[in-house]
Chains A and B, each alone.
Chain A
Amino acid sequence: DAGVIQSPRHEVTEMGQEVTLRCKPISGHDYLFWYRQTMMRGLELLIYFNNNVPIDDSGMPEDRFSAKMPNASFSTLKIQPSEPRDSAVYFCASSIGFSQTQYFGPGTRLLVL
């Protein structure tokens, strides 16, 4: 298996623009997680899905953030409108079962100017 795939790997955008991050989890995994990592706040869980259903979105910072998982092989994290403070590395991870080993993607490095 190719592992968790994320795109794009790097994104530079201007404040106010819409940003869409994409993730393809490992086939057969029933949990998908979105994290954000910054120097100041470390690794933060934003939202996670179980069998394509959002379970806990309490980590989503604002209404500007939204996430979807239309099917078992694809998820998106959208920021609209983007702000400079959203600059971070966004990771997607997937796992089989609850609180088991998570497999991380390579991340998307987002810079909002």
Chain B
Amino acid sequence: SQQGEEDPQALSIQEGENATMNCSYKTSINNLQWYRQNSGRGLVHLILIRSNEREKHSGRLRVTLDTSKKSSSLLITASRAADTASYFCATDPPGRRALTFGSGTRLQVQP
């Protein structure tokens, strides 16, 4: 089973609204990363948050991490049509020296 699971699986909002996506994982981690994938393209790294951090910002992105609940959230503020993509969380579970990706949230931003 996958380490990270995103919720919701799909999200549709209007341009200008905020979008929130959640990620839950099962084991302890060193860090958690969020990636974006536009249709037909490779994944692009958005942000990395370490296990000793609780919140991190990058432009219109805000990521939170709650290690006690084994969950993270990605908030995109003032969304744009160009934000339409799939968003994945990735964790590095112990014993596996590589990232494990979740199944992703498909975000649709209507202009």
A residues adjacent to B (C-beta < 8 A): 4, 33, 42-43, 45, 48, 50, 55-56, 91, 93, 98-107
Secondary structure of the A contact surface, majority rule: strand
Contact yes or no, A42 B99, CB < 8 A: no
Contact yes or no, A105 B42, CB < 8 A: yes
For the complex, give the distance between the alpha carbons of A102 and B100 in Å: 12
Write out, one digit per residue, whether chain B residues 93-105 have a CB within 8 A of any chain A CB (1) or not (0).
0001111111110
Contact yes or no, A91 B98, CB < 8 A: no
Instruction: Beyond A45-B99, A98-B92, A107-B42, list 14 extra A-B contacts (CB 8 Å).
Output: A43-B101, A45-B101, A55-B97, A56-B96, A56-B97, A56-B98, A93-B42, A93-B43, A100-B48, A101-B33, A101-B45, A102-B99, A106-B41, A107-B41
- When C-beta atoms are compared, the residue in chain B nearest to A92 turns out to be B42
Contact yes or no, A99 B99, CB < 8 A: yes
Number of interface residues of B (CB under 8 A): 22
Residue B77, interface by CB 8 Å? no
Write out, one digit per residue, whether chain B residues 69-110 have a CB within 8 A of any chain A CB (1) or not (0).
000000000000000000010101000111111111000000
Residue B2, interface by CB 8 Å? yes
In the bound complex, residues from chain A placing their C-beta under 8 Å from that of B30 are 99
For the complex, give the distance between the alpha carbons of A65 and B85 in Å: 30
Among B48, B100, B102, the residue within 8 A (CB) of A101 is B48
8 Å CB interface, B14-52 against A: 30-31, 33, 41-45, 48
Among A33, A104, A107, the residue within 8 A (CB) of B98 is A33
For the complex, give the distance between the alpha carbons of A99 and B97 in Å: 7
In the bound complex, residues from chain A placing their C-beta under 8 Å from that of B99 are 45, 99, 102
Closest 3 pairs between A and B when the two form their complex, measured CB to CB: A104-B42, A99-B92, A43-B101
In the bound complex, residues from chain A placing their C-beta under 8 Å from that of B33 are 101
In the bound complex, residues from chain B placing their C-beta under 8 Å from that of A100 are 48
In the bound complex, residues from chain B placing their C-beta under 8 Å from that of A4 are 42
